[in-house]
Amino acid sequence: MAIVLAIETSCDETAVAVVKNREVCSSIITSQIPVHQQYGGVVPEVASRQHLETINGAISLALEQAELDWGKIDGIAATCAPGLVGALLVGLTAAKTLSVVHQKPFLGVHHLEGHIYASYLSEPTLEPPFLSLLVSGGHTSLIYVKDCGVYETLGATRDDAAGEAFDKVARLLHLGYPGGPAIDRLAQEGNPQAFALPSGKVSNPGGGSHPYDTSFSGLKTAVLRLVQQLEKDGLSIPVADVAASFQETVARSLTKRAIACALDYGLVTITIGGGVAANSGLRKHLQAAATAHHLRVLFPPLKLCTDNAAMIGCAAAFHLNRGHRSSLTLGVQSRLALSQVMELYQ
């Protein structure tokens, strides 16, 4: 069983964890949300600087909480793609340095593969094949998980990711950053049927709509026009109702596509990963639909939905157990298809 120290710095959380296969020995997450709130979103240069200031302390604390020394560590991993280039460089450089100093194998990990492996940490019986719905600020995808490092993307967003749409609508409603948790909290007070909003069908060139792809730009625009019309009519904006209607539309859209995809491909298990996996509306709708169709749906605990290093460590441990290693010449990439995961290893 491989023990891996993993680093995650793809965006605005400095995270370090020690993972023993599917067991989390320690997990340190230093959030930058208070720093970026004043800007209304993540500022890449600021994020990189914050990572530099906190990475060393996070590494030391992760080892201390795991009650392990470097002699017990089998490998060192870091997220290398996709993400903010400057932020990724901080974590990758730290991991490479530790690899050389302590003479340990180095592994570069794909961020989205990490989100898939978050479910492995909370469900010891999980094994491929299964369908993974990845929903975050940068990604909305339906992934056919066939084996470690073997993935097929069956559905993706054509424009805004689900988490990005939450942030933009929250900004429109003056709810602050990050938008997802703010909308989720407010939606509990609103009527999800108050406003009929478009679910964002994606047309196929040959006719009809794509069964698994998503689109949220039209939904975002519909909310904007709704707010503008209410203001034009001199009416106060029922923010809770707008938030609830928006969240309901997103949750139903994602649920419909995930269930259809699982049934079409004969997959009985659906896992959820990414920050939007914490959304209560999505959890409610997807669980109900999965139960109705006799499917198993797995949501990781809330602490594993947002970016963390434990999921990166779990993915790295599986690769390390299979003899996979990364070259110390491996660089960072702002974009990299999940199907290219095995290019990261020798």
Query: Which strand ranges, in their side-by-side order, compose the sheet holding 13-20?
Result: 23-31, 13-20, 3-8, 75-81, 106-110
Is 80 exceeded by the pLDDT of residue 50?
Answer: yes
pLDDT of residue 212: 95
- The residues facing 19 across adjacent strands are 4, 24
143 bridge partner residues: 132, 153
For residue 20, what pLDDT is reported?
A: 97
Is residue 215 predicted with pLDDT exceeding 80? yes
Query: Which burial class, exposed, middle or buried, applies to 199 when counting CB atoms under 10 A from its CB (0-12, 13-18, 19+)?
Result: middle
The pLDDT tens digits for 155-168 are 999 998 999 999 99
Q: Is a pLDDT exceeding 80 seen at residue 202?
A: no
pLDDT in tens, 143-194: 999 999 999 999 999 998 999 999 999 999 999 888 899 999 999 999 999 9
C-alpha of 284 from chain center = 19
Which of 1.10.10.10, 3.40.225.10, 3.30.420.40, 3.30.300.30 would CATH assign to domain 3-116+305-344? 3.30.420.40
Q: What is the dihedral of CA 325, 142, 274, 196, to 10 degrees?
A: 170
What whole-number distance in Å separates Cα of residue 272 and Cα of residue 41? 24
CA distance 13 to 306: 9
Tell whether the model's pLDDT for residue 200 goes beyond 80.
Answer: no
Among 209, 211, 221, which Cα is nearest to 246's? Answer: 221
**At which residue do the structure tokens 């600020």 appear?**
137
Provide the percentage of residues in the chain whose pLDDT is more than 90: 87
Domain boundaries, given as residue ranges, for the chain: 3-116+305-344, 128-303
Q: What is the pLDDT of residue 107?
A: 98
How would residue 3 be classed by pLDDT, with cut points 50, 70 and 90? very high
| φ/ψ (deg, to 5) at 317 | -60, -40
CA distance 105 to 6: 12
Question: Is CATH 3.30.420.40 the classification given to domain 128-303?
Answer: yes
Sign of the Cα torsion 87, 141, 16, 278 reads positive
pLDDT in tens, 55-86: 999 999 999 999 999 999 999 999 999 999 99
| pTM reported for the whole predicted model | 0.94
The structure tokens listed for 103 are 């003479």
